[in-house]
Chain A
Amino acid sequence: MNAQAPALRDARLNRPEPLTPPLGDGGFFQRDRSIHPPAHAPGYKSSVLRSPRQALLSLEGSISEITGPVFGHNDLGPLDNDLIRNYAKDGDPIGERIVVHGRVVDETGRGVPNTLVEFWQANAGGRYRHKKDTYLAPIDPNFGGCGRALTDDTGYYYFRTVKPGPYPWRNYVNSWRPAHIHFSVFGSGFAQRLITQMYFEGDPLIPICPILTTIPDKDALDRLVAPLDLNASTPFDSLAYRFDIVLRGQRSTYFENRTAGN
């Protein structure tokens, strides 16, 4: 597979020059919570008793939040980004073979290099390899359903898997999750930590999903839907989907910080 970062689907992501000067010690851009789901979203019933009701206390980016854990290739194994092979026992997993790829960038469009991306999903039948999942679709003996990758110098990542299936869950009497892949991303500071889900272009369950529709902003919701990327597919092998992830941008330090005591 070509590890060269291809062009991004959102033209703004291809901006040649960073918008801000090189990284300083600055905190992160204020999180725009209007594009995130609110903590209390009654249509997603599990959120009702698990959502804080007091106002969040604002911190302007202390050293505790602009720093975060650093990971390296020593943390990963050679098959960690190949979900077709990383749990194969006596053959390949059942399902549509796909590659998922994209870039992790920040809000200025700058690539986030060497950051850990983790992903997990149900198998092609919509069943998770998890002791708490009791859905009647069968476990696939050759599919674990998780993997991880480090982005390269440009923020690019990729992995191979099979397309997950939709599955029913207890929210309304007849609620089904659209096919999705869970993503966990770190960034360079703990304030950028993010978990999200990627969906697939054209899935009719998307507009009626009680979890996806917790997102109040239509454009923000659409950005979680990965398009088919035929150019990145491999003929007679696998289709490809493109999923770019944007983490919070970091303020620059234009001038020296005040010294202690000032």
Chain B
Amino acid sequence: MILSVAERSYLYESLKQSPPIRPDGRSVKQFRPIQTNVGFLESSNGSAKITLSDGSECIVSIKSKVIEKASIESGRDTLVDVDIEVAGQRDDSSFILNLISTLKSIYSNYISQESLSLTNRFTYKLFIDILVISNYSYPLTLISFTSYLALKNTYLPKLTSSVDDKEIEEQPTFHDYEFVKLQIQVPIIFTVAIIDNNYIIDPNSQEMEVSDNGIIIGWYDGNIISPIENVKLNDGNSKSIKPELIIKSIELVKSLGQSVIESLNAAE
């Protein structure tokens, strides 16, 4: 988004106030309203869509595949694979690759092996395909919320063969139509924009454009986790961050996480 000098300085000054005056009237810890939709893709194991008030839209589809556990242990395969497509961005741009690497590392750390385990030799592998149809602000929070909904609403085929296949060579067989809901805890990621001495959650495109810097913070089960990183929210306006602000943002995310999870769960 391109802002004129006057617009930029007006926005910056109002966001500098204490408490900050945000252009859409939100409070520091208020998210933009979201509209959710789950389980609408018949051909995938789980799916979700979130539409933001500014028109940003993200669709996530979860698919699964049975793989041998040995291939994961040997490092040939991973338990979770993430693919992201953002409209208007090249697949090999550093923007996309950075989103992928962040999500891959958070999901492979926090999606437990037990929850996907089938038998002693086989396990499910999850493919998380993310499509951001339109995007006006930094999409990571949107993506992580949508993936949360999709993963929480994923149904995997029910195993009918025996779990213990150590002794006997046996391919797992599945029930014809019954599915089991995937029971996992999913981490989510928050974006905080830093403006002067203020920190605001879920910045929209205008706020991003004038912000001094941005931080992404992971949240899992009531606690703060990696990634804790700073991100570039605009081109060339970035400034250094005071350490206190990072700590305050982390505290804010820690206190908000549970209520966000509750409202996301209510969306099911």
Q: Do A and B come from one complex?
A: no
List chain B positions with a Cβ less than 8 A from chain A: none
